[in-house]
Amino acid sequence: MKIPMHYIYIVECSDKTLYVGYTNDLERRVLQHNSSNKGARYTKFRRPVILKYSETFGTKSEAQKREAEIKRWRREQKLALIQ
């Protein structure tokens, strides 16, 4: 049985802003941000986006807690994490 994975990610938009999100399918989600109406409203108008960072978690709860933490960070902190 395949164990479901959960991810948080940071993408850089075409205007150099950063977007933090959660997903259980990282590849599909980045594709959605770039080509689908299912991408976030924020990124829809800032395409293309480039995946800059991701973390993997065993549970949705852990991933969403980390996502919330990173979303509260200043841009400089997010850039330091990407580095």
Parent domain of 68: 6-82
**How many structural domains is the chain composed of?**
1
Q: What is the pLDDT of residues 9-66, one digit of tens each?
A: 999 999 999 999 999 999 999 999 999 887 788 999 999 999 999 999 999 999 999 9
Residue 47: inside a domain: yes
Q: Is residue 67 part of a domain?
A: yes
Q: Are 48 and 32 in contact (CB under 8 A)?
A: no
Bridge partners (DSSP) listed for residue 51: 11
- Binning pLDDT at 50, 70 and 90, where does residue 2 land? confident
Tell me if 81 sits within 8 A of 69, measured CB to CB.
no
Peptide bond into 4 cis (omega under 30): no
* Residue 49 contacts residue 29 (beta carbons within 8 Å): no
Please report whether residue 76 resides in a domain.
Answer: yes
CA–CA separation, 26 vs 66, rounded Å? 16
> Is residue 1 included in any domain, yes or no?
no
CATH of residue 64's domain is 3.40.1440.10
